[in-house]
């Protein structure tokens, strides 16, 4: 089954495609000191909610990049509905290949839930640092180990222990790369449950509404596997945070 179709179906009901609550993210946005036309870049922007919300609050000028044609279409529809006259653009492409025009630097850059694009957390810090103004902010959303992962969890999920760090290490890496961590937003169990279980709901709804889709058995098998992994291991093993770094 096409991977982007899978994510489109399983994230149909999500506003944010990451395990942070919308209210916590909005609380962070209200702390920002962005001005009209402040430049914001969102790599792997998902369905565009962060950029659109920042436009509603500050009338920023923004670029969102995502590889999924389904999500970029959602972004365009949302833009037309909520901020049609704004200076935000959505690009359907591989985020790792995005280069700003005329080497422009951004006041705020983010990559929330997609550090694999840059081969991990350190790579993401370095990539975003290059396109952020001195004094600007960098938001990175990343999982962290709450505890040592069980071997069986690594085996069935295909994850490697080295893929993620502890919460402390995520902050330490950013600081060793010359940034200052000024704030963190950490997801609760409730936030993670919302993110994970809404995928189950969307998948079962889709299969009921589209009984003749030949992808249904693969879709439901994948959801069943991810449900078991989350309930048996992930829920107590992986945490999630958005790290707010300042480039000095």
Ligand X SMILES: C[S@@+](CC[C@H](N)C(=O)[O-])C[C@H]1O[C@@H](n2cnc3c(N)ncnc32)[C@H](O)[C@@H]1O
- Ramachandran sector of residue 138 (left: φ over 0; alpha: ψ -120 to 50; beta: rest): beta
- Does residue 19 belong to the site contacting ligand X (CB under 6 A)? no
All residues at 6 or more sequence positions from 84 whose CB lies less than 8 Å from its CB, including other chains = none
Shortest approach of ligand X to residue 45 CB, angstroms? Answer: 6
Query: Which CB sits closer to ligand X, 77 or 94?
Result: 94
Q: Which is nearer to ligand X, 152 or 190 (CB)?
A: 190
Does the footprint of ligand X cover residue 137 (CB under 6 A)? no
CB of 8 to ligand X, least distance (A): 9
**Which of 17, 75, 127, 138 touches ligand X (CB under 6 A)?**
17
C-alpha distances in Å from residue 25, one per residue of 83, 123, 244: 19, 24, 12
Query: Which CB, 49 or 85, lies closer to ligand X?
Result: 49
Regarding 95 and contact with ligand X (CB under 6 A), the answer is: yes
Query: How many residues are listed for the chain in this entry?
Result: 248
Indicate the SS3 state at residue 190: helix
**Which residue sits closest to ligand X, CB atoms considered?**
46
Among 40, 52, 114, 140, binds ligand X (CB under 6 A): 114
Closer residue to ligand X, CB minimum distance, 171 or 185: 185
Tell me the H-state helices in 162-215: 167-176, 189-209
Could you say which residues in the range 64-93 bind ligand X, by CB under 6 A? Answer: 65-68, 71
Span near ligand X by CB under 6 A; candidates 12-20, 54-62, 153-161, 184-192: 12-20
- CB closer to ligand X out of 18 and 237: 18
- Distance in angstroms between the alpha carbons of the first and the last residue of the chain: 45
Binding mask 182-211 for ligand X (x = CB under 6 A): ------------------------------
Q: Whole-angstrom Cα distance, residue 2 to residue 52?
A: 27
Residue 17 or residue 203: which is nearer to ligand X going by CB? 17
- Give the other-Cβ count within 10 Å of 198's Cβ: 16
Tell me the window of 40-48, 148-156, 165-173, 233-241 that interacts with ligand X (CB under 6 A).
40-48
d(CA 21, CA 106) in angstroms, rounded, equals 25
List Cα–Cα distances, 81 to 68, 77, 85, 86, 197, in angstroms. Answer: 20, 6, 10, 11, 27
In 3D, which of 138, 94, 87, 99 has the Cα closest to residue 117? 94
Interface with ligand X by CB under 6 A: which residues?
A: 16-18, 44-46, 65-68, 71, 94-96, 112-114, 117
């Amino acid at each position: 089954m096409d991977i982007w179709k899978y994510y489109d179906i399983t994230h149909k009901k999500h506003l944010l495609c990451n395990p942070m609550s919308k209210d916590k993210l909005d609380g962070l946005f209200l702390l920002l000191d962005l001005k009209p036309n402040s430049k914001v870049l969102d790599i792997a922007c998902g369905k565009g909610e962060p950029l659109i919300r920042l436009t509603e609050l500050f009338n920023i000028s923004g670029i969102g990049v995502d590889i999924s044609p389904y999500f970029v279409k959602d972004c365009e529809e949302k833009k037309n509905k909520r901020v049609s006259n704004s200076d935000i653009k959505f690009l359907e492409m591989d985020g790792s290949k995005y280069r700003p025009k005329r080497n422009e630097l951004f006041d705020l850059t983010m990559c929330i839930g997609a550090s694999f694009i840059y081969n991990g957390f350190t790579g993401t810090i370095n990539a975003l640092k290059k396109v952020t103004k001195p004094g600007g902010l960098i938001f990175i959303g990343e999982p962290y180990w709450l505890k040592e992962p069980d071997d069986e969890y690594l085996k069935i999920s295909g994850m490697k222990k080295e893929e993620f760090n502890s919460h402390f290490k995520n902050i330490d890496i950013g600081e060793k790369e010359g940034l200052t961590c000024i704030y963190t937003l950490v997801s609760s169990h409730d936030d993670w449950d919302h993110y994970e279980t809404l995928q189950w709901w969307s998948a079962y709804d889709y299969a009921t509404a589209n009984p003749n889709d030949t992808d249904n058995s693969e879709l439901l098998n994948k959801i069943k596997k991810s449900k078991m992994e989350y309930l048996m291991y992930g829920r107590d093993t992986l945490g999630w945070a958005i790290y707010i770094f300042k480039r000095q």
